[in-house]
Amino acid sequence: MKHPIIQSSAYALFALLSTQHLVAQDSSNSDQEEANNRELADYVVVANNYEVPLAEVGSTVNAITREELELGQTTFVLDALRELPGVYLRNNGGPGTSFGITTRGLTDAPIILLDGIEVSNPANGQSINPGLLFTSGIERVEFLKGPQSALYGADAQSGVINITTREAKDGESFGTLNGGYGTFNTRQGSVDYQTKQGAYDLSLGAYYYKSDGFSTSDANNEDDGYENKSVRAKFGYEVSDRLDLYLTSYYIDSESDIDSYHADDPYGNVEQDNFYAKTGAILQATEDWETRLSYAYTYVKSTTDSNGYFRTPSKYVSKGERHKIHWRNVLELKDNWTVAGGIEHEIEDNRAAPGDRDQTSYHADNNLELIENLHWTLGGRYDDNSEYGENETWRTTLSYLIEPIRSRLHGSYGTSFIAPNFYQTSNPTYGNPDLDAEEGEGWDFGVETTLIPGVLVLDVTGFRNEIDDQITYDRGTNSYINQASYKSKGVETTLSWQALDSLVISANYTYTDAENKDGSAPLHVPENMANLSATWITMEDKLSLKASTRYIDDRVTYNGDADDYILVDLAAQYIVNERVTLWTMINNVFDEDYQEIAGYNSPDFNITGGLRINF
């Protein structure tokens, strides 16, 4: 069923604008100059793999800050990502179940980095489900869109999500204790602590979530629960004014119940053990040269116990390790020219079945200000993998602020590839050892305009992607194959309106036209998506209220067609005093019956409330 009123409103309202947008300013207005300075002080890391002012970034980057995460009251990163333009997330049920993400029509998941660690499963190539990552303790989430293999290597075809955990500033020590209870007998709690005293800094966190859940399958009514226990630790030591050492780690122990299509037949569960760690040194060798050396380790084990499609008990274990050494340098050759480059070597080990591979990579990226306010990047990467061979990728971006008309032109072009994983090449039943890597290219170009300085900002961005040798599962041969090609194109629009000093209204709309080589509709690609949200802060900044609406068009899934739907969510928090905050979130307010994947249910009306204590 279509929703013409909502759709027509979405066409007009466009897209959620996060803090990534630069507001072009009138130099005669001192208030606007101050606002501009605040914007220019905002940086992103993911766009160039080092800090760059947002005003200089040609690629599309959506950023979610810690303050926005707290206002939205989302428990997991998965739900925070849903409001971003051009992004459609889907689960086979609850937050810890199978996960997928479509970005601008591309259904391959982006690379996800957690404090700089790639957190995919080396054995099967699956990216971590953001439903395993708590928002508590996170400082910032950045989503870089478009092909980024020139910066980040294989699998960065649809983009990169960079998640940074919280740290204290010099002389600070603080902590947060958070707890809540809600529908589905959901219990959650977390504690975070950060301190930086003298040469030492420390950041710790422990998180717990357990829910009885709901029946994720149409076929039966048994509730499917989810439990997650996670801890993190980050330690830094300043050896001197020029040399810093650090160590960061994250551990996740989770269990998710899953269903089959057999009526009243519980399907089984999935247990995951994820461990990530990274250590390294940062040396300011000279005033203009920063060099970094790091070692990162990834271990992921996933065990699925099930009754199988034919009610035959089965167990599938996926276990993989990744070791990655990276030497990286950033040099300011001139005031208007920065060069970044390095060498990377990684080893991936498929522990559940014999197999390993290694890769050596070389990359370089130039960032130049050609003339005032015109920033251009050009970079490339060479990867040599022991299993799937050599790949060369490159990218270029442009950002040009035209002050007289308060507008900024931005665009990017890049090439990419996705390597076949161990499961796709080596599985005895479904594997194909002759698979080639996917190769892709994509571009976007947009105009960001300040319609009313300090009040109303609009961005319209067109995009196009083309993939060759796309890896897909073929039911006819019962194995993975390379299909000819895949294309997606569309427009992504965003609007931010500071309606009042205390009221911000944000909206986004994305239109996507995607097709396979044979002209058939691709899986999991909504043609129309839209988000609308309003945040009101009142009572001397003590009370915050947020209302969000999301529209997802109908789409094809591997189990059949899934209908379009509209969801409304509410969130609120009240600051009792500087130490105590009360919060609540109400999801699916109108109890919409919807499915992200045909045959798998999603949560109906649910509410959670809790208490956050600062210490």
Statement: residue 210 has pLDDT above 70: yes
- Rounded average pLDDT over 574-603: 95
| 320, β-bridge pairs | 300, 350
Model confidence at 478: pLDDT above 70: yes
pLDDT of residue 258: 80
25 pLDDT higher than 50: no
User: For the chain, what is the mean pLDDT?
Assistant: 89
- Percent of the chain with pLDDT strictly greater than 90: 73
Closest to 526 in 3D by CA, of 601, 602, 596: 596
Q: Which residue do the tokens 């630790």 mark?
A: 233
- CATH assignment of 4-614, given 3.40.980.10, 3.40.50.300, 1.10.1200.10, 2.40.170.20? 2.40.170.20
> Lowest mean pLDDT: which of 266-275, 499-508, 592-601?
266-275
In the prediction, which pLDDT does 477 show? 84
515 close to 522: Cβ distance less than 8 angstroms: yes
Q: Distance between CA atoms of 493 and 512, rounded to whole angstroms?
A: 12
pTM (2 d.p.): 0.90
Q: How confident is the model at residue 485 (pLDDT cuts 50, 70, 90)?
A: confident
Mean pLDDT of 567-575: 98
> Euclidean distance between the first and final Cα of the chain, in Å?
50
Assess whether pLDDT exceeds 90 at residue 502: yes
pLDDT score of 582 more than 60: yes
Q: What is the pLDDT of residue 266?
A: 55
Would you state the pLDDT for residue 97?
A: 74
β-pairing verdict for 606-614 and 173-182: antiparallel
Asked whether 123 and 357 are in contact (CB, 8 A), the reply is no
Cα separation, 590 vs 116, whole angstroms: 39
Supply the DSSP string of 183-248, one letter for each residue: GGGEEEEEEEEEEEETTEEEEEEEEEEEEEEE--BTT----EEEEEEEEEEEEEEE-SSSEEEEEE
Residue 371 has pLDDT above 60, yes or no: yes
Residue 484: pLDDT band with limits 50, 70, 90: confident
Better pLDDT: 314 or 561:
561
d(CA 208, CA 382): 41
Which pLDDT score is estimated for 234?
98
How would residue 307 be classed by pLDDT, with cut points 50, 70 and 90? low
600: buried, middle or exposed (CB in 10 Å: 19+, 13-18, 0-12)? buried
Collect all residues with Cβ–Cβ distance below 8 Å to 174 and sequence separation of at least 6: 168, 193, 194, 195, 614, 615
pLDDT beyond 60 at 610: yes
The two three-digit tokens of residue 252, written as one number:
């996740």
- What lies within 8 Å, CB to CB, of 417 at 6+ separation is 149, 154, 157, 383, 391, 393, 437, 438, 439, 440
CA–CA dist 187, 171 (Å, integer): 34
Res 225 pLDDT > 60: yes
At 113, list the tokens: 């980095």
Q: Which of 276, 300, 526 is nearest to 422 (CA)?
A: 300
Q: What is the 3-state secondary structure (H, E, C) of 169-193?
A: CCCCEEEEEEEEEEHHHEEEEEEEE
One-letter amino acid at 45 equals: V
Q: Which of the four pLDDT bands, split at 50, 70 and 90, describes residue 3?
A: very low
pLDDT at 605 over 70: yes
Measured from the Cβ of residue 152, the count of other Cβ atoms closer than 10 Å reads 25
Tens-place pLDDT, residues 407-462: 999 999 999 999 888 888 888 888 888 888 899 999 999 999 999 999 999 999 99
**Cβ–Cβ < 8 Å for 247, 279:** yes
Give 333-365 pLDDT, tens digit per residue: 999 999 999 999 999 999 877 788 999 999 999
Average pLDDT over residues 323-339: 96
SS3 state of residue 23: coil
C-alpha span between 207 and 189 (Å, rounded): 6
Distance CA 95, CA 587 (A): 14
Structure tokens at 343: 């060498």
pLDDT of residue 12: 32
Give the whole-angstrom CA distance, residue 598 versus residue 372: 52
Q: Hey, where are the domains in the chain?
A: 4-614
Q: Helix, strand, or coil here: 43?
A: strand
